[in-house]
Structure formats: C-alpha cells, structure tokens
Structure 1
Amino acid sequence: MKKIYAIGVGGSGSKCLESVISLHSLGFYGQDTVLGVLLVDADASNGNSQRTNILLDRTIKAHDTFKNGSTQLFKSELINYGNWNPLADVSNATNLEGIFNKPALQYQTPALGKLFDALYSPEEQVADLGVGFRGRPPIGSIVMSRLELEIARGPGGGARNGWQRLYASIQDDLGAGNNQVIVHFFGSIFGGTGASGIPTLAKLLANQLTDQGLRANVRINASLLLPYFGFEKPDDGNQTVYAETRFFALNTQAALQYLTEQAHGSFDRIYLIGDHDKKQYRSFTGGTNQRNDAHFVELYAGLAINHGFQNFGNHGESKGSYISRTSSERLIWDDLPDADQTWQQLSQGVKFAYAWLYNFSLELQDAKPLGSSNFAKGAPWFQYYFSLRGGEDGKPDVSSNDEVERNKILTFWSYYFLVWIEQISTSHRGVGIWFRLPKLDATTVSKEFNPDAPRPYHERLDELVIDENRPLDCLDSIKNDLADQKLSNQCGVIGLAHNLFQLLGGSN
C-alpha cells in the first residue's frame, strides 16, 4: 500500500491541495493508495484554505459513499488531518512584540532587544499575525523557529493538533510494514508562510524520524512554487505591513539559498515550479477575501507526487527535477508530466463531472415527480439501475432518501471539481488550455452551491476536451450504452455513477 501525506503550507499550499484532492478522487495516484491531508496556516480565516476545506469535505463524503464501486473513482481512502495553526502552539499573542515579550527581552538581555529592533520595524513588531505572516519570510521564520521538538511531538495524552496526529499515523504505517510512505509539502517560497514553514517543518520531521531510526523508510518531498502571480497594493485601509510583489524575487533567492546551504537531509526530492507569465490577482491582507482562482502551476505541483513514487528507491541525497513546456504562448497536453495518463484521467473526470452535473443529476430529479415507470419510457437505461415498482424488484427507489442524498453528494463533488478544473484551464492568459468549460461561480464562504437550483441540460461532450477528436461523443449514445451493456451488478446512484465513469473512460 502507498501512503501519501500531503501538507499544504500557507495560501498557495492550500491551493495545491485542491489539485491533489481532485487528482486523488479520480484514482490518479493508484487504487491502493491512502491520501492524508493537512493544512498549515497562521491565518485561520484564509479564503484559499476555506475553499480547500469545502472541496475536501465534499470529496470525503463522495469517497465514503462511492468507494465500493467497480471503478477507480473514489476508490482510494482520503483522510483529513484538519487545519493546524502553528502560531497557536507558539504563543497566545498574535504579534511579534507579544510573542517574544519585548519588554522582558529588553530588560533581561538588552543586546537581544536591540537586535530585535534592528531586524523588525515598529510596524512589523505590532502587525496582527492572525491573518498570516503577510508575505514576509523574516516574520514567518522567527515564529516558526519557536516550534520546538516537544511541541511538535505533542503530549503523551490529551488532544493533539493536526501535525501530531499526522506524525502518529506515519509511525503506525511504518510499524504495520507499509514500505512506501511519502510526505509531500506544498507551498510558495516567495511569500511568508510557505517560505518559512516548509523548511522548518521538513527539518523538524526529518529530525523526528532520524531520532526514532525511521528516516530511511520515509521520503520527504516538496513542490515549491516560484513566483507565478502578482498583485497591486491591497486596499485594506491603513495597512503598512503586507505582501509586496516587488519582494518576490528577493524572497525566492533567499529561500533557495537557505535550501542549498541548510536543508541537507531534510528533503529527498524537490520540485521547483513557476511561471514567467504572472497571473494578476486582487490583493487582500489575509482573511476570507484572500481567495484566488486555481492555477495550472498548482496542478503541476500535485502531479509531482507520482514522480516521487516512481523514484521511491532513490534515497540518500536531495535531488531536484524540472520540466519545461513546448511554447510560452500556450500549454498543450504533451507539456504535462505523464502526458498520456494525465490526459486520459483528467478528460474522463471532466466528462463524468460535466455529464453528472448537467444531465444525469437532473434526470434523477425529474424522475421523482414523473414516477419511475413513466420516466423510464423515455429513458431505457433507467430500469437497469432503479426500481419501477417501489423497490419490489430488488432495485432501489430513485425517490428514496438514500438515493436522493447520494445524487446530491455526487452533484456537489461534480460542481466543485468543475470549478477547479475550469479555473486551471483558463489560468494561462485567460484562454482555455486543456478544456472548454462554462464559467461557474466560485464558492464563497457565505454562499455555497445549491444542487437543487435550476441549471441547463447539456448533451454534448465532444467539445469539452481541446485537441480531442471524438465528434460522436454525446450523452444520447452513452445512455444507449448504459442500457445495452450494464457493466456491473451494482444498482442505484452508485452503480449508475461507476458505469457512467467507465463508459466515459474506455476500460478504466
């Protein structure tokens, strides 16, 4: 069994986890794989993290509901280790002045007090870190450096934070003989939280494993994001400490220098991923408004996990890998790692989610008021999955609470999956690069997608995938196939979903 621990550090790290979660739901990392997810951020209200949490929650529900189907869809286990705020473990204070007790520092060790003033401006010392480290690696580094080994290990009893529970799971995996355990960090190295948190946490983890004689059995990899977006000064009133695009190159240089000189033994494999064509986002100093669209760089970051497994046996020194694209003008399928597999599985997932959201989920809703027998007259496939006589034939009633709830769970997942992949597909100069999809309203914290709201029917799938030539790919023919060749003995929404997924992907 393969075990992946994906740790997203900071806002960009949480966005990478959107890609990891979505790929895992399609079985991209293999059926015999367990994915554990941990979000690390000092900004508990970060909009990027909250959106990832919504996707994670909806995907876990889909995995729990559809995991016993006949295809790789939702087959592999997905575990949520929650959100960990390292700032809360360091101090009850939320600014540098309070965390380091500046008055006591100046009184007890005047020299350190002067050094503190030399390193951090008065504004930085009192800036509220409850909204993150404000794109300033020096702020994040001094806070993260206070994470002592005993704090990370946690107490022998009582409540554990997400990091402690994740580490306990790693120990259990190794004790059970799981010999392919990968911890993969995600985050930017040009901002505050990722640049300071990933090296610190990786070193902390490596030291813990080394102390227990376990380091050789675990691979610690990282997808580190180079600058790939920019923004203007945030319109946040009188804020004086905030992330600034002009410092991104300097932050990146410092982070890479640190990794080169200080990170030996912490990482087995590092992936540096960026884009010279910077995407422009609106800027906010943390909070729920900091919610940026998904970007193809984050997809590349998630795809790196498989490369780590392919090179699992290469242990002993830190390594770097790189990939380039054919043209700076556009991205094509061949530019992706493992292009054939990635194209096949993403295309299958997009067609399935699109077909379910815009057709099958609506069909099942329509069947309820019409009655199963009447609805089946115009939908021959229906009788192979649902009862026409109130469950008397051993098949479930489409109107039952269980079937209605399963339809909603899958509709929720389809919506959020399509939101993610549509944003990925238009992140390069606003032009579709792999898929042509309708723009969906991205989820906000206060307004979630309503699966019962009216939406249009769609039948055609042939134009969804760019550079794919399947002119007859439409749902009418797929429905005929569902009626002609039932691919498993499963009935209800679960059986329908897996058979549809299989038909849309050939033999998968």
Structure 2
Amino acid sequence: MSTLYIFGIGGTGSRVIRSLTMLLAAGVELKNCDRVVPIIIDPDATNGDKQRTIELLKTYQRLRSQIKPAAPGTSTAGQFFGADIQTLASLARPGEQRDTRVKDTFEYSFSGMEEPLRDYLRYTSLPVESQYLVDLLFDPKSLDENLKVGFKGSPNVGSVVLNQLVDSPEFQFFGNEFRAGDRIFFISSIFGGTGAAGFPLLLKNLRDRDANLPHIELLNTAPIGALSLLPYFSLKSEDSSAIDSNTFITKTKAALAYYQQNLHGLNAMYYLGDQAQKQNDNHEGGISQQNNAHFIEVVGALAVLDFLDKPESIAQEEHFYEFGLERDENDLRFEHFDRRQTLPKVGEALTRFHFFATWLQHHLDETMSATYATNLGLKNAWDRDPFYQDLRRFLFDYNSPDRQFISYTAWLRELRDNSRRFRPFNLRDGYDPQNHWDSMADLLEPDFDKSVAGKELKKKGLFGKSDVIDPKQIRVMLDKRLSQAVANDTASSPATAMVRTFTEVMDEVVHGQQLLQ
C-alpha cells in the first residue's frame, strides 16, 4: 500500500489541504497512491485556517470510515469520499507499539510555544559569545515576541524553532512507517515565516544520508515534490501588527535566491502566485486568521494530483512547473481550465458532487417516499444517524459549532467572493452568512439546468417547460440502482449503498448531458 505524506506548513499549507480535501470528496482520483496522510505543521495552535481544515479532515475521515467496500479489493476510485485520508498515528501496524507522544491527530504539536523566543533559546544560560551571536541575528523585538501565534512572517525565527521537528517522536514515527513506493509532498508559502523556513529545513534532513531517521535510505531516494506559493494576497496596514505585506515581495526574492543555491534533492517543484490580490484583514494569528478560499489554493491542490501522476522514475529527475489559464480573467469558470488535463481531472468530479449536494438540499424531502429513500431508511435516519449528520456538516455546515464554516458550500461561496473569482457553479444571491449562517445550503441553485456556470441548459419542448435534466428521471435512476444494490447485496452498509449509488447516477447525468464538452 503506497502512501502520500503531505506536509502542510503554516496557514497556506492548511488552506491548500482544505481545497484538496474538497476535490477528494468529489471523487477526484489519486494515481500511484492508496492513501493520503496530511501532517499540518503550524506553531499557532489556534490558527483559524488550521482549525477549520483539521475539522474538515476529521469529518471526512468519519464519513469515509463508514463507507466500506462490499468486498476486499473492491475499488473506491472515483467514488465520493473514495480517497483514504489517515492520520500519521493511524498507520501503526497491528501489534506495533506507538510512542504515546504521537497523537492521533492531523497536526504536529509544538512545545515551548507559550514563551518568548528569548526564553525558548534559554538566552540567559548561553555563553556570552553565543549571546552576542543571538543579538547579531535577532533584533530585541523578535527576541521578546511570544511564539504562540507563530513566527509572524519571520523565517529567521522559524528556522530556529522548527529544528525541533527532526528529533521529534512524530518525525521518528514517520520515518519508521515510511516504505518503498511512498511519496512526500510539501505545501508552504515563500513569503511568510513558518513555510519559508520549514520547507527547506525538512527537505534538507530527508535528503541527508547521515540524518538520525529510520529508513533514511528510503527517504533519501523517495519521490519528493513541493508547492511554494508566491504572494497571492495582501494585508491591510496595521501599525500594531508585526506583519507588513509590503515586505512580501522582498521576502520572496530573498527566499528564491536561497532556494536556488541550497535547495537540493527535490524532484518536482511547483511555483504559484497571483497578481489579482485582495486585501485581507491583518491578523497576526489565532482563531481570527481565517482567510477566504482562493482559486490559487485550488490550483495548489491540482499540483498535488499532478505530482502523483508522475511515474516513480521522477525520483531520479528534477522538474519545475508553473500553471497557466486559457485566458487571464478575474471571473473564472470551468471553461478557463485546460480541456486536455485539468478539466477532465476535476471538472466532471466536482459537477457530479455538486449535483449530489443539490439533490440532498432541494429534492430529497420531496422524494422521501421513493424506493431509493425507503431502501436506505432515510426518513428516520436523515436527522438522527451520525453518518448523515456528518454528511450534512461536510456539505452544508449543518449544526456548525462556533460559526466554524468548513463546508463544501462555504468553500464555493468564498471562492466566488474572492478578488479573482472562481465560479464553477451558479450560486444564489442574497445570502447573508452573518445572519443566516445555519442556512448555507440555501446558496445552491435548485435547478440542475442552471447549475454549471457558463453551461446553462435550455429547456426542451414546444413551450420550453420541460427540464433537460429532469429530477423525475434522476429519481427513477436512483430507485433502479439502489434496488439492484440491495438485491445483489453489493453494499456492506446503507452509507456505502447511498454514496456508491449517488456517485454512479450523478456521473451518468453529467456524462449524458456532456456538460463540460
């Protein structure tokens, strides 16, 4: 079983993993990979972007755990929630003793983050010569800054603190579980503190033959890819904030110069950035740092998929990649994707997943007495069963605690409302998340014919009254497929039958209308 380990470093790493999780939920296929293990590295324990992504991953994992193949070896490729996403700790083999410090979570837990950098370095205990060196490398303000919200755009601080990663029990466990055929991918920004410092540091140790890591010979030769995001947003100026987005370009140039001279052993490097920048609120960290999803983060998720498409022989090579649009516009739809690569890879999967969400929101209630709903017991299970509660949480932020928007529909709204709009589907206007936050699903256009932006279908019939995509026909297809699954006992649980059937039916609907041709 081959594994992709994704190190999401800093807030940018969390945001790209969020978009990747949406693509995997939609059934976008992973090549040369059986499971994905995200490891989020961010010293800011309460970072809003990180917490939102972790909650999304946990919800995905709970859903996936209840969607079991009917028989061993049955493929779930292309199915909604088909990709296997696991925590690092869950990789422990039967009977294997795992270090109790390796927690069953998607994030790496830092220690010593509740103190200033000066105390973290044990400055007063250092020899006087070392104190002089510290004073030369760090200004007094940096030394006195508390580390609990991260490095505030200072990679020189991050490079010191992140050194603890290599000797941590989590990193040792990662090395112990690594096997031939596994791959590694880094996601980080190049204009901040955590990502710019963490990525080259980790890469250096994985390619160091003398590093104190288990299976170092495999880590030395494994395929490694990385995504470095150049500035794609700016921040409002705040005199009280240590982060100034006016320095982003300068930091990027400095980091690129360092990468050029010192970044060795990387097989696939992806660079992304965007000039259509929106000014976000300036938050140094904490729960308030929760940026809207951006199109660049979707493209970043595509970089991960592209890396997996490469043959294993890429481990012997070095390649550098960029991404381009068919047309450089600020209002993007599926038609801006390359028709040979990107569109077939994600367009169809996202469309059928969107139709799935649309059906559950706008057409499920009226078909609760249908054969498919009866076979699934939806009338009693929809509001009570933990699987369906998690499904509604994932899709619509149903019962969202603390106004923490993790859902697919929230993600679509954020992409639509950013400075470079990504609008693959038509969403309804007039939605106010501040006052109606529990009605996120109201965003979805109920008419399938009007759902895909730029591909609205015209009505058939003499007076244009009949639907091209007819909900009545979809109901017939669901009834037939579910009845067959129950009769043949090809599903091991109602959750499995439900997800598999909806995947197949919505796939047939999308292909039948050739929506993305």
Scaled to the shorter chain, the TM-score interval is 0.7 to 0.9
Aligned twin of 1:297: 296
Aligned twin of 1:140: 158
Instruction: Say if 1:225 and 1:407 are closer, same or farther in 2 by CA, change over 3 A.
Output: same
Unmatched 5+ residue regions in structure 1? Answer: 155-160, 368-375, 377-381, 388-394
Q: Is the 8 A contact 1:386 1:492 kept in 2?
A: no
Deviations 1:104-124 (A, max 9, x none): 33xx233x3233223322211
Separation in structure 2 between the aligned mates of residue 33 and residue 134 of structure 1, nearest angstrom: 36
Separation in structure 2 between the aligned mates of residue 268 and residue 41 of structure 1, nearest angstrom: 24
Aligned twin of 1:245: 245
Within a 5 Å distance, the mapping from 1:183-198 to structure 2 comes to 183-198=184-199
Aligned twin of 1:104: 125
Match of 1:409 among 390, 396, 418: 390
Separation in structure 2 between the aligned mates of residue 94 and residue 83 of structure 1, nearest angstrom: 24
Give, as a single letter, the amino acid of the residue that structure 1 aligns with 2:122.
Answer: N
Instruction: Say if 1:432 and 1:464 are closer, same or farther in 2 by CA, change over 3 A.
Output: farther
Q: How far apart are 1:327 and its partner, in Å?
A: 2.7
Percent of aligned positions with the same letter in both sequences? 23
Q: Is the 8 A contact 1:19 1:299 kept in 2?
A: yes
2:176 matched to 1:168? yes
Match of 1:74 among 76, 81, 95: 81
Q: Is the 8 A contact 1:188 1:225 kept in 2?
A: yes
Report the 3-state secondary structure (helix = DSSP H, G, I; strand = E; otherwise coil) of the residue aligned with 1:52.
helix
Aligned twin of 1:12: 12
Aligned twin of 1:94: 115
2:52 matched to 1:51? yes
Separation in structure 2 between the aligned mates of residue 485 and residue 116 of structure 1, nearest angstrom: 68
Q: Is the 8 A contact 1:295 1:424 kept in 2?
A: yes
Unmatched 5+ residue regions in structure 2? Answer: 71-75, 89-104, 397-406, 459-467, 512-517
Report the 3-state secondary structure (helix = DSSP H, G, I; strand = E; otherwise coil) of the residue aligned with 2:448.
coil
Separation in structure 2 between the aligned mates of residue 456 and residue 324 of structure 1, nearest angstrom: 29
Separation in structure 1 between the aligned mates of residue 63 and residue 144 of structure 2, nearest angstrom: 44
Give, as a single letter, the amino acid of the residue that structure 1 aligns with 2:424.
Answer: W
Separation in structure 2 between the aligned mates of residue 299 and residue 202 of structure 1, nearest angstrom: 24
Q: Is the 8 A contact 2:188 2:227 kept in 1?
A: yes
Aligned twin of 1:131: 149
Report the 3-state secondary structure (helix = DSSP H, G, I; strand = E; otherwise coil) of the residue aligned with 2:87.
strand
Aligned twin of 1:371: none
Q: How far apart are 1:441 and its partner, in Å?
A: 7.2
With structure 1 as the length reference, what TM-score do the two structures score? Answer: 0.80
Instruction: Say if 1:224 and 1:454 are closer, same or farther in 2 by CA, change over 3 A.
Output: closer
Of 10-19 and 213-222, the range deviating more from structure 2: 213-222
Aligned twin of 1:383: 371
Match of 2:479 among 469, 472, 483: 483
Aligned length: 453
Give, as a single letter, the amino acid of the residue that structure 1 aligns with 2:278.
Answer: K
Report the 3-state secondary structure (helix = DSSP H, G, I; strand = E; otherwise coil) of the residue aligned with 1:213.
helix
Instruction: Say if 1:506 and 1:405 are closer, same or farther in 2 by CA, change over 3 A.
Output: same
Give me the CA root mean square deviation: 3.2
Q: How far apart are 1:86 and its partner, in Å?
A: 6.5
Give, as a single letter, the amino acid of the residue that structure 1 aligns with 2:236.
Answer: E
Report the 3-state secondary structure (helix = DSSP H, G, I; strand = E; otherwise coil) of the residue aligned with 2:412.
helix
With structure 2 as the length reference, what TM-score do the two structures score? Answer: 0.79
Q: How far apart are 1:325 and its partner, in Å?
A: 1.7
Give, as a single letter, the amino acid of the residue that structure 1 aligns with 2:418.
Answer: S
Give, as a single letter, the amino acid of the residue that structure 2 aligns with 1:268.
Answer: N
Separation in structure 2 between the aligned mates of residue 285 and residue 433 of structure 1, nearest angstrom: 29
Q: How far apart are 1:355 and its partner, in Å?
A: 2.2
Q: Is the 8 A contact 1:403 1:493 kept in 2?
A: no
Within a 5 Å distance, the mapping from 1:156-235 to structure 2 comes to 161=170, 163-170=171-178, 173-174=179-180, 179=181, 181-207=182-208, 208=211, 212-215=216-219, 217-234=221-238
